[in-house]
Every structure is written in C-alpha cells, then in structure tokens.
Structure 1
Amino acid sequence: MVAPTKQYLPHKDYNVPNIDILSLIFDSPLAWTNEDTILHAEAADPSNKLTKADTRTLTKRLAHVFRNKFGIGSDGPNKDVVVCISSGQILLASLFYGVVAAGGIYSAASSAFQPGELARQLKQGKSGLLLASVDCKDTAIQAAKECNIPLSKVLVFDSMGHKRMLADVESNTNYLDSKAEMEWPRITDHEELKKSKACLLYSSGTTGPPKGVIVSHLNIVAEGVLPQFMLREYFKREQQKDPSFKFEYRTLAHLPAAHIAGLQGYLINPALAGGPVYWMPKFDFPMFLKYCKEFKITTFFTVPPIYLLIAKSPLVTDQFAHMHHAISGAAPMGRELQTAVQQKMGCYISQTWGLSETTGSVTAMPWDQNDLTGSVSPVLPNTRLRVVDDEENDVEEGQEGELIVQSPVVTQGYFDNEKATKESFTADGLWFKTGDIGLVRDRMFYVVDRKKELIKYKGLQVAPAELEAHLIAHNKILDAAVIGVPAPDGSGNELPRAYVVADKNAISGDEIMKYVKDALASHKQLRGGVIYLDAIPKSPSGKILRRELRDMAKKENRVQGAKL
C-alpha cells in the first residue's frame, strides 16, 4: 500500500488562462497596459523608449523577417532554435516575442560567455540562427565559425542611443527597415500550450554541464499571472483601507536577461504590471543607485550579492525612497542580511525561491506581510510542494528533506535530453525534484542549501548557506563562500572552509573562526580554514561558483588550519 503524500498547499488557487504569451501581453485585459504605455526605456536616455504599440509592431515585423528571410517556423513550431546573446537592450523583448511569433524557440545566452561556451549552446540546440547585441558581435562571429553557421545568419542588433538596427554580418542588411508584418498564431488549447517550446534557458553549470530547460507558453503565462493575481488582491486590500492608495510600476533591468529572473522580470512582467522597465546594459552599482533615485523605482527583484552591497555601502542614502517592495532570490539570504537591507532601504524585502526549471518563483510573499525569520515565503498559488527523503518518502513537518513540486510553472523537461528529464522527476513522473534541501514551519518554507552542496562531517550535514549568512553578517566581512574540503586523515569527512572578502589586517582568520565557534554548533566549525580572496567567484545571476572554489582547493598543497 502506497503511503499518502503530505502536500503543502497555497492559501488560494486561481484560474490560469489558456492563452499564448503574445496574446496575453497584447490582446488580454489581464495586461494592465494601454497602447501608449511605455514598456521599455534606456536608463541612460529615457527618451529612447518603446511603447506597447511600438513593441507590437516590432514583434510582427521581426516575426516576418525570421520566418521569410531565415525560415524560422516554416516546418512547424517547436523546432527551430534561435540563440540570442546580449547585454541589456530595449529591443530584447521584441526579439523574444518575434522569435516566438515566427514559431521558433528563443534560446537565451549569457553576455559573459566566451566563444566556446556560446558554441556549445548553439550545438546543443542545433541552432542555425544567432542574434547578438553589438557588444557581443566578436564572440558571436567566433562561435558561429566554430559551428559552421554562415555569417549571413549572424544578426547583430543595437537599440541603445536611439539606434534601431538588426543587420547580418555578411551583407550588413538592416532587417528592421522592412515594413512587412506577420501575425502570431493564437493558441488556446491547454495541451498545446503545455507542450510548446517557447524558450530554452540554461543553468549556470555550477555543478555540471548546462542543460537546456524547456519553458512553454503555459509555464511563462502561469509565472506571469499568478504573482499578479496575488498582487492585485493586495492592491484591493490597500484601497479598502485607504481609497487614495496608488501603486505605479517602475523597475530597473540590471540582472542578465539570459537568466529566468531577467527573462520573466523584464520581458514579461512589465507588460502585465503596466509600467516601464529601465534598461542598464550591464550592472554598475553607482549607476544602479543613481537610476533607482532618478526613475523613482518602486519595485525590483535582485540577488543577495547586490543586497549585500546595499547593506554595506556608504553610497546608499535616499536612493530607495520610492521603493514599495523588493524581492530577493537565486540563493538563500540570511535573516541578518535581510533585516539590515530592510532597514537600509526602508521597505519590506521578501524572499522568493525557484529555479529555471520552475520558470522562476515557486514561493511568494504577499506584499502586506513581513517575515524576518529567513524564510523564502509561502508557496505560490496553483502549486503543491512536498519535502521528501532520499527514498521519496515524505518527512515530518519541520524536518529537512528535498523539496519537490507540482505546478503549471514546472518545465516538461530538458531539450533533447530524455535521461536528464527522467532523473529530474520522481519515480512516478509526477513531481519535479528541485535538488534543494529545505523544511516547512507554519506554512513558511526555508531553503537550507542545494542537495549537492551539503558538507558531510562525521555523519552530520553542514549547509554552506547557513555559514555564509553568518559570516557576511559580520561588519568586517564583505562577502563569503563556504565549501567542504577533504579531511587530510583519509576519514572521508569534509571540513568546512571559508573563502572571505575582507581585510586580513582588520580581521584575522583566527578571529573569523572564533566568530563562527561562538555562534554555531561543533560540526559547523571552519576546520578547513579561512582563505582570503579579492572577490567570490559568481555566475552572472549571482550564484556562487563553488566548482571554481573546489578547483582552488585542489591546487592547495595542504589544507590550511585543518584539524579534527
């Protein structure tokens, strides 16, 4: 007899419409926009902007170009992968929409990629068309040559400084000069929306080769509308308390658009929330602060490393005076940092949790609730979560286990990788295994760490995230990362080692070890020592690249300060 599952449920579910992404954005009343609503603007020059009407026109023109000049979607949808490598550009949303409208699959690539990394993504998706912002042109050309893609199918674009250019490298033809348009197919069948391949997102590859996560129309629509439904109920509650309450959506694009937070947060959410996203080409902290103040930014999603800068930088003064609510994700943020940032910014900071495989958030905090316990919030509407052991049996509430999830935001799997897809779901195929270790208390979810990142010492598990949160709470430690290094006695134990960004003259390694010893249990001590770095290696999305730290550790001739 199969034991019943212990599912954690949201407070409420909503009806997710059976509608494609483009119809949701351009045709549906669920999008709180008018034709003259500004959706995208350049932060350095906000007069360089695109309205909803501009974006609609560009989408249709680009769809015509992709279909009739390059054959995207000519043999049917869900087949042709178009890779796009770009820094922040106001044209990005239209390019994404145009690829989807033509029947193609939009594959987002990091602007930080080297040619070999980009070539790997082109090969993995069997792509024959490459889009690149002008600053990524050289990388794109080298990768195309490695993949035998003709330069006539490398399209370079620029939309900053009032430019409107999409030209192939070979002939330099500007395809944005074309006025011909193509309508996108309206999709209303649930199964077709569920099985579609609108986008491919790639993991950062911190624990292995990146895999292409299939993101469908249903995934993106659900991830777009479910938090919006929650937010709009909050607006109603606030207006009942104060009829003059008004919220104007304004956000700042500062994270990579190749990451799910950038794709969903900049290409989808602004078109539903009814306000502009101001685009920075790349993250620059002083300019980030300047733009937050200049454009009276009211909300944004960002990552713990940036919140750490906000908490510890003397540059931060009144730049967040108009911030109504901010959200953190991509990695757990300790309660000490969350509290410090909340005090510095003067608004609630809530944590969310999700993956590329869940199209972003799986948990979300109502904006009128504040939680400072370090949780990643309650579960999102229409989502079911379980906490299980290694045999996929449910654990008791309050105990740690792997978080597994069912939701319309969950991917159907990995592109051209049936083995990885099967391994990422439970034995019955019904639940996605996130690989994150967490627990539940009072309907709040807590993420301990990645399953593969846990350090094992004398049969006990040590979560690097807990140690990192404690370390960066120290005012003399600017940043930190923790990994396990093999014990020198061959016992098989792993010893926690801290890599810190700090002035060793201001705080010594012994002082850091004592700081941990005074606060945390014996098995969590820094027996692997303390190493000082100029910067913690991180992915463009803000995740610690532990693989690089492990490579550093392997090159060490000895374990510094190691003792049992």
Structure 2
Amino acid sequence: MPPRRTIYLPTKDYELPDIDILTLIYDSPESWTQENTVVHAEAALPSNAITKAQARVYTKRLAWVFRHVFSIGTNGPGKDVVVCISSGQILLSNVFYGVIAAGGVFSAASSAFTAGELARQIKQGRSSCIVCSEDCRDVAIKAAKECGVPASRVLVLESMGGKRVLRDVEKKGQNWLDGGEVEWVKRGDLLDWEKITDKKTLKDRVVCLLYSSGTTGVPKGVNISHANLVSEGLIPQYQIREYFARQRRLNPAYRFEYRTLAHLPAAHIAGCQGYFVNPSIAGGPVFWMPKFDFPLFLEYNRRYKITTFFTVPPIYLLIAKSPLVTDQFASLVHAITGAAPMGPELQAMAEKKLGCQISQTWGLSETTGSVTAMPWDQKDETGSVSPLLPNVRMRIVDDEENDVEEGQEGEFIVQGPMITTGYWANETATKEAFTKDGAWFKTGDVGLCKDGKFYVVDRKKELIKYKGLQVAPAELEALLLSHKLILDAAVIGVPDPSGSGNELPRAYVVADQSMISESEIKAFVSQNLAQHKQLRGGVVYLDAIPKSPSGKILRRELRELAKRERVAGRAKI
C-alpha cells in the first residue's frame, strides 16, 4: 500500500486568467486602477507622482532603452539579467516592468549590500547591466569594476524630488528619460511587451530573481515567473474583493479606497510583489519612502490616510510601545504581518494602538510571498499564520517525507501557481528544494495544524531572520574563518532581549581573545557585510565548536548553551 497522504486544502479555488504580468497591470480589467489613477507618489513630495497611463509609457520607454541601447532581450527572453540596487523610488516599478518588457530578468539587490555582496549577485546572474539609485552609486561602481562591467552600463536612476533621470554613473552619456512622452512617441522610442497566453511559457519564463539565503553556501536566485507574479497578485485580491461584496450586501454605501506606504526594502518579496504588483491590481497609490524612518512613517500614515499595509514584527513592536503613536492610524482598515512569527501578546498590543485588526501571513521568496492569509472579516488571536490561500495545497511531513498526524510537527511542503520552479542556474539546489517526486516544494519551516489552523514553530533551515531579512550562518562563518586569527567559528541566531521577535546573529569562535577582541571581530564583519548581518548577538569564545562525527556544526548544542546563558543572566538579576 502507498503511504497515507494528508493534503490540506483551502476553502475554495479560483479560475486564474492566462495572462502575462505586464498585460495584467496595464491592460486588463482585473486591475482596478484607472488611466488617471495615481499609482506611485513620493511621500515627501506627493506632487511627484505618476498615473497608470504615464507608468505604461515609462515602462515602454525603459523597455526600448534596455533593448536597443543595452541589448537586453536581443537573444531571446529570460536570459539577460539586469541587477537593480536602489532605495525606494517612484519609478522603480517601471524599471522592473521595463526590464521584463525588454525580455530581460530583473534581479533585485538589497540597497544595504556591500560592493562584494553586490558583485557576487552580478556574477551569479552573469549580468552586464546595473541600475542603481544615487545613494548606492559608489557600491555599484566598485562591484561593476570587480565584475568587468563598464561604467557606461551602470545606470543611475533618479526619480525622487521631481527628477526624471537615467544615465550612466560617469554622466557622460545622455539622460535616457529626457524628451517626454510626445517626443518618445514621435521618435518611435517605445517598445511594447510580448503578450503571452501560453500556460507553459507563463509558468516557466523567468522574469525576476529574488535572492534567498541557503543554509550552506551563498544566497541563491529564486526564479520568479509571470504565473508566479500574476497568481500572487490576483488570488489574495480576489479574496479581498469577496469581502467587499459581503460588506456591500450589509451596507450598500460601503467603500474602500486602497492607499499604502512603501517603507520596506523593495529588493525583497514584500517590496517587489507588495509595491510593484499588488497596489496596481488593488486600485490605488503607493506612497514611497526612500528608507524606513519611524517618525516619518507615522506622519505619512496620517497625512495620506493609509488604509492598509504589510509590515514586520519589529515595526509593530515600535508601534505598540512608542509614545509617538497617537491618531496616525485612524484611516487604517487592515494590517498584515509576516516575514517572522509574531506572538499573540504583541499582536494584541499593536492592534490596540492601531485600532484595527492585524492578521498574520506566511510565505517565502520561493512562494512569491503569501501562501496563507486571513480573510478580512475573520480573526485569530492564537498566533496562527492564517488559513491557506485559494489554489494552494499543503502537506506536513517528517524527514522521510511521510505525512505526520494532524497536531504533530513536521515540515510544511506546498504546491500552487505561485511556487517557484527552482533556482537560477542551480540544478542541485533546485532538486534539493523539492520532494523526491519533484511535486512539492519543501519550505524548510516546521509547524503543525491544530483545529484547522496552521502554526510555524521552527525553521528546519538554519536561517536567521533580522527585521524580516535573511542572514545565512554559513556566509558569516565563511567570512569569520577567512580571518587569520580565528581558528573556527559557528553562528546562530539568539532572541532579541527587547522582545522584538528579531533573531540576532551571534558568533561562537575559537580564537585567542588576547590577540583578537570581540570589538575587532565585530568590526571585521562590519567592513565586509550588510547591516542586517552584523553580530548584534555578540561574540562568545569557545575551546572548540561542537560538531558531529561527519563535521557538521551541532547548532542545537549552541542554542542550548545560549539558552542556559539567558537563564543564568535572569537568575543573577
């Protein structure tokens, strides 16, 4: 007999259109934005804005530039990778769509990257074209030099403060956004995108790379396709539209106006999907902040009467505990949390301050974001990550991929139209990410189902999450071991004592403390890695790193050691 399978199902499925992401955003009635709808605006200068009609033209202009000036897509679609490292900007989504329309692949890089980290991503994608914001210019130039990318192919995008600039970093070439719509049309300098309806092409053609850290080795490029973006854009929106219909049956005068605030990094799935795609489908504007600033975040929520947003537990902790929060969220209808678990205690505190419901969602870069979501008229106070979204299937399995009994812990494995087909140019990692039969994606998250609700209890993968950003222990360990005075090293995440829900990277090292101090080790990391990868959890000196006979680091022993240290610290108090 074949082994018994327990497949968890959503309450319903939706029929999804066979449509490419550009046609969905710009030319489909499924998108609720009108031609004159402002889709992107600068929070600090709201007159700096573009409508849907203008966004379409900018996308076609940028597609022409990428194709005819930089040869993106010349040899066929889905091959040429354009790396983009930028803080928040109102034309960032048009670069995203312009690269795709040209036939290229948009590779999202964190604006917090060092030159070495950016160079690694450029090399992985074999990219010969880079777009950056002015504040990331120096990092982009250094990385380009390391990768042999000429300065003429490193482009600075400036679209805040009313600017409309795209030119090379040395400012020797022309501004490719000069001229405006009338001039571009007259010269024929616009490129339309390929309209795609073939299911297999929509599923398989890679249009975006989002980088996900593995537990061994360097971050991997997650292949995101048209079908991934379209399904993740439409399925939650269909669910919300059904809620609107229920509300209108109760009150025919019910109206909801979508307005959100871009405050999270655009290089991650919450930014790419949450700011480039979802708002245009939902029918309203995104107000852009270059980077997160809490007092400004509060002010912009009040000023623009923000009605919904997704953010991460550390920001909810700020909201819950800050005396600055008064009436700034009076217009907020629904808030969503994700990227890391949030306990019911923090949820209750933050909801009291916000004056509206917070629901948890769960997903990964490899699932193009959410695979669970709470309907707006349902509530959970137990800390669950919400029900499955329509069109998603889930199993909970043990290490041998056998289904566990309901209520028992196991790894969440999933199917659905938003699930990646694998990793860019990495067949080994792709094979390892799916079950033996290739049919289910292994999320690496361990959880259980209880009373029909899903709970994430641990991560099978060893990733550390800080402010929703991934930190791979292996990357930190490799850097530490490159130092001549560090003989061995292991890194784990320890809980932030502030209760923010963050994990703080902590290094356990074998080294002579009289030769290299904790501050020197931290400084070494600071010089080489992004801010979210710093050793905020400290440095602990050991005589030896605990390892298995095969040489694997026994992280569980280190976690137990950290736990005993926390208990001892509380006992002293």
State the TM-score, normalizing by the size of structure 1.
0.83
Segments of 5+ residues of structure 2 without an aligned counterpart are 474-490, 500-521, 545-557, 569-573
Q: What is residue 539 of structure 2 aligned with on the other side?
A: 552
Q: What is residue 269 of structure 1 aligned with on the other side?
A: 278
Q: What is residue 416 of structure 1 aligned with on the other side?
A: 425
> In structure 1, what is the Cα distance between the partners aligned to 2:219 and 2:354?
35
> In structure 2, what is the Cα distance between the partners aligned to 1:352 and 1:336?
17
Give runs of aligned pairs for residues 477-516 of structure 1, distance below 5 A.
Answer: 498-501=495-498
> In structure 2, what is the Cα distance between the partners aligned to 1:556 and 1:325?
51
Give the direction of change, closer, same or farther, for the CA distance of 1:358–1:321 in structure 2 (3 Å limit): same
Residue identity matched to 2:26? F
CA contact (8 A) 1:385 1:405 kept: yes
- Which residue of 344, 361, 365 corresponds with 2:353? 344
Q: What is residue 117 of structure 1 aligned with on the other side?
A: 117
CA contact (8 A) 2:84 2:106 kept: yes
> In structure 2, what is the Cα distance between the partners aligned to 1:207 and 1:373?
34
Give the direction of change, closer, same or farther, for the CA distance of 1:256–1:206 in structure 2 (3 Å limit): farther
Q: What is residue 167 of structure 2 aligned with on the other side?
A: 167
RMSD of aligned residue pairs (Cα, Å): 2.7
Q: What is residue 438 of structure 2 aligned with on the other side?
A: 429
1:380 match: secondary structure = coil
Segments of 5+ residues of structure 1 without an aligned counterpart are 455-463, 469-480, 484-493, 503-533
2:497 match: secondary structure = strand
- Which residue of 231, 238, 243 corresponds with 2:240? 231
CA contact (8 A) 1:308 1:337 kept: yes
1:177 match: secondary structure = coil
Q: What is residue 194 of structure 2 aligned with on the other side?
A: 185
Give runs of aligned pairs for residues 228-307 of structure 1, distance below 5 A.
Answer: 228-307=237-316
Q: Find runs of 4+ consecutive structure 1 residues off by over 4 angstroms.
A: 204-208, 494-499, 542-545, 554-564
> In structure 2, what is the Cα distance between the partners aligned to 1:496 and 1:27?
46
> In structure 2, what is the Cα distance between the partners aligned to 1:206 and 1:323?
38
> In structure 1, what is the Cα distance between the partners aligned to 2:108 and 2:454?
30
Indicate yes or no: 2:136 matched with 1:136.
Answer: yes
Give the direction of change, closer, same or farther, for the CA distance of 1:303–1:555 in structure 2 (3 Å limit): farther
Deviations 1:508-534 (A, max 9, x none): xxxxxxxxxxxxxxxxxxxxxxxxxx9
> In structure 2, what is the Cα distance between the partners aligned to 1:356 and 1:98?
22
Indicate yes or no: 2:371 matched with 1:362.
Answer: yes
Q: How far 1:14 sits from its partner (Å)?
A: 0.2
CA contact (8 A) 2:258 2:282 kept: yes
State the TM-score, normalizing by the size of structure 2.
0.82
CA contact (8 A) 2:215 2:462 kept: no
1:452 match: secondary structure = coil
Query: More deviation in 173-182 or 268-277?
Result: 173-182
2:190 match: secondary structure = coil
Q: How far 1:498 sits from its partner (Å)?
A: 4.9
CA contact (8 A) 1:7 1:384 kept: yes
CA contact (8 A) 1:350 1:371 kept: yes
Give the direction of change, closer, same or farther, for the CA distance of 1:326–1:290 in structure 2 (3 Å limit): same
Residue identity matched to 2:178? D
Query: More deviation in 166-175 or 394-403?
Result: 166-175
CA contact (8 A) 1:331 1:543 kept: no
Q: What is residue 372 of structure 1 aligned with on the other side?
A: 381
Give the direction of change, closer, same or farther, for the CA distance of 1:237–1:556 in structure 2 (3 Å limit): farther
> In structure 2, what is the Cα distance between the partners aligned to 1:395 and 1:453?
22
Query: More deviation in 96-105 or 166-175?
Result: 166-175
Q: How far 1:442 sits from its partner (Å)?
A: 2.5
1:198 match: secondary structure = strand
Residue identity matched to 1:182? L
Q: What is residue 63 of structure 1 aligned with on the other side?
A: 63
> In structure 1, what is the Cα distance between the partners aligned to 2:541 and 2:17?
51
Residue identity matched to 1:500? P
> In structure 2, what is the Cα distance between the partners aligned to 1:359 and 1:71?
28
Q: What is residue 80 of structure 1 aligned with on the other side?
A: 80
> In structure 1, what is the Cα distance between the partners aligned to 2:541 and 2:40?
46
Q: How far 1:172 sits from its partner (Å)?
A: 3.6
Give the direction of change, closer, same or farther, for the CA distance of 1:293–1:8 in structure 2 (3 Å limit): same
> In structure 2, what is the Cα distance between the partners aligned to 1:389 and 1:417?
25
CA contact (8 A) 2:112 2:531 kept: no
1:428 match: secondary structure = coil
Give the direction of change, closer, same or farther, for the CA distance of 1:498–1:361 in structure 2 (3 Å limit): closer
> In structure 2, what is the Cα distance between the partners aligned to 1:341 and 1:367?
17
Q: How far 1:552 sits from its partner (Å)?
A: 2.2
1:370 match: secondary structure = coil
Give runs of aligned pairs for residues 194-205 of structure 1, distance below 5 A.
Answer: 194-204=203-213
> In structure 1, what is the Cα distance between the partners aligned to 2:282 and 2:531?
27
Q: What is residue 23 of structure 2 aligned with on the other side?
A: 23
> In structure 2, what is the Cα distance between the partners aligned to 1:172 and 1:193?
36
> In structure 1, what is the Cα distance between the partners aligned to 2:543 and 2:337?
34
Give the direction of change, closer, same or farther, for the CA distance of 1:208–1:346 in structure 2 (3 Å limit): farther
Q: What is residue 451 of structure 1 aligned with on the other side?
A: 460
Give the direction of change, closer, same or farther, for the CA distance of 1:554–1:39 in structure 2 (3 Å limit): farther
The alignment covers a number of residue pairs equal to 493
Q: How far 1:433 sits from its partner (Å)?
A: 0.2
> In structure 1, what is the Cα distance between the partners aligned to 2:457 and 2:16?
31
2:161 match: secondary structure = coil
